[in-house]
Structure 1
Amino acid sequence: MYDSTHPQIITFNRLHSNKSVVLSFDDGPSKVLPQILDILKQENVQAMFFWQSRLLYPARPWQRVLDEGHIIGTHSMKHRNLVQLSYEEQYQDIRNSVKRIEKTTGTPVVHFRPPYGRFNSHTLKAAQALGLTTVMWRIASMDWELKDDPGQIIRYATENLEDGAIILLHELEQTVAILPQLIRIIKEQGYSFSLLPSEKK
């Protein structure tokens, strides 16, 4: 479980009308993205994707992501630990990642997730200057550490469900393997799926 009292950090979707959670996927667009999209479409679920702009090749199915109602945010250019950079370096990294995604997709980028979940005052200042909402998470699935124990991903993601909680997932093969079951368990607990507002600040 993660939470922040900082007014610029989002860990919950508080602007929704029914009992819901937010699925978010980091570190794409990856080779397993089409499989993730197939599952989300089959389950009628929308999600948020935080992408490293260096991976956004034209051949990636970004248009399908948008056409099927998902949201694309930035996860920086190359997943560097931003707190090791100066304000100007952080600003340029985030700005360039946003420009790359917007140029490719033709859609404004509104949401930003710092790599490794690491940020400082410079990170938040840069994001705010760029009109971005900084999005963390409430529940971490730990999927990046659980390649050999995918069932534990489900347990981490579902043991502490809360209304509005943002769930951290990644575009990984082990996540694809458990995603249908994860979605079904969340639905069985009475939750639907929502997205964060996508208006620019």
Structure 2
Amino acid sequence: MRLFIIRKKTLFTIVVIALLGIISLIMFGVYNKAEETFNSDVYYQGNIDEKVIAFACNVDWGNEYIPEMLKIFEENNIKITYFVTGKWAEKNKDILKDIYSAKHEIGNHGYSHIDYDKLNYDRNKEEIQKAHDIIKETLGIDSKYFGPPSGAYNDNTVKAAKDLGYELIMWSIDTIDWRQDSTSDIIFRRVTQKAHNSAIVLMHPTAETVKALPGIIKYLFENGYNIGTISNVIKN
């Protein structure tokens, strides 16, 4: 009887070890798949290990705050990436030209500010291409970075973006500045507490972001970071 109990315990131990091994292999495979997606399809941060942080400003509204943002960046000799929707660009060509003439990088935010994860391949491609064409017509450039509105994308979005020659850009630090309870102090903490090499900071043209920017820039500079565009943190 005692020998049976010992053998039963041994068998149980073997089964547990085997299950742990299987779980580890599964997790390793998932991790590798995530790394593969990160490296080849979607960028949540840059791929260079340097103290550079990219600012990505998504624009579909907030015109009244853009001039002050541009002034702050000019005073600090900073160039960032503005992701603009095609619908906004159509209606605000002069503002778009002002942003570009200030030497900022222009990214594609899709034509409409909708959830691209709900679209099929053709609709994804249509929305990205339409915005691309408007930017091209207005500025004479071919954008190469696509930032999906609300960070919503699916496999169709990734494939459509790649087929159109775009890198799909997300973020590693979110200011969440569109929320009404996001004060400049909260935005400052959200950025500075998570600052890291090759980070991508998502922001929008809001009153509280404008208030927070000088302090954020000062903090990052004092801690040895450079601030730049998506192209400054992604090297292919």
**SS of equivalent residue, structure 2 residue 117:** helix
Q: Which residue identity does 2:207 align to in structure 1?
A: E
Alignment of 1:119-130 (within 5 A): 119-130=153-164
CA RMSD for the aligned pairs? 2.1
- Aligned with residue 44 of structure 1, among 77, 81, 90: 77
| Residue number in structure 2 paired with 1:159 | 193
Deviation at 1:178, TM superposition (A): 1.3
| Residue number in structure 2 paired with 1:97 | 131
Deviation at 1:146, TM superposition (A): 4.6
| Residue number in structure 1 paired with 2:64 | 31
Deviation at 1:148, TM superposition (A): 5.3
Bigger Rg over Cα:
2
- C-alpha distance in structure 1 between counterparts of 2:207 and 2:135, whole Å: 24
Cα pair distance change 1:176/1:60, threshold 3 Å:
farther
**SS of equivalent residue, structure 1 residue 164:** coil
- Aligned with residue 114 of structure 2, among 42, 56, 80: 80
- C-alpha distance in structure 1 between counterparts of 2:104 and 2:180, whole Å: 26
Q: Where does structure 1 lack aligned partners over 5 or more consecutive residues? A: none
Preserved contact between residue 28 and residue 49 of structure 1 (Cα < 8 Å): no
Preserved contact between residue 13 and residue 195 of structure 1 (Cα < 8 Å): no
**1:62 counterpart = 2:96:** yes
Cα pair distance change 1:115/1:58, threshold 3 Å:
closer
- C-alpha distance in structure 2 between counterparts of 1:146 and 1:58, whole Å: 25
| Residue number in structure 2 paired with 1:12 | 45
Preserved contact between residue 200 and residue 230 of structure 2 (Cα < 8 Å): no
* Range with bigger deviation, 32-41 or 53-62: 53-62
**1:178 counterpart = 2:232:** no
For residues 101-126 of structure 1, give each alpha carbon's deviation from its aligned partner in whole angstroms, at most 9, with x where no partner exists: 11111111111001110111000000
| Residue number in structure 1 paired with 2:146 | 112
Cα pair distance change 1:147/1:177, threshold 3 Å:
farther
* Range with bigger deviation, 50-59 or 116-125: 50-59
- C-alpha distance in structure 2 between counterparts of 1:148 and 1:193, whole Å: 22
Q: TM-score, normalised by structure 1?
A: 0.89
For residues 161-197 of structure 1, give each alpha carbon's deviation from its aligned partner in whole angstroms, at most 9, with x where no partner exists: 1111011111112111211111111111210113233
Deviation at 1:138, TM superposition (A): 0.8
- C-alpha distance in structure 2 between counterparts of 1:59 and 1:72, whole Å: 13
Q: TM-score, normalised by structure 2?
A: 0.77
Deviation at 1:67, TM superposition (A): 2.7
* Range with bigger deviation, 180-189 or 144-153: 144-153
| Residue number in structure 1 paired with 2:5 | none
| Residue number in structure 2 paired with 1:141 | 175
| Residue number in structure 2 paired with 1:191 | 225
Deviation at 1:15, TM superposition (A): 4.3
Q: Which residue identity does 1:141 align to in structure 2?
A: T
Deviation at 1:59, TM superposition (A): 4.7
For residues 119-173 of structure 1, give each alpha carbon's deviation from its aligned partner in whole angstroms, at most 9, with x where no partner exists: 1100000000100011111111111125552210010011011111011111112
- C-alpha distance in structure 1 between counterparts of 2:148 and 2:224, whole Å: 30
- C-alpha distance in structure 2 between counterparts of 1:63 and 1:148, whole Å: 29
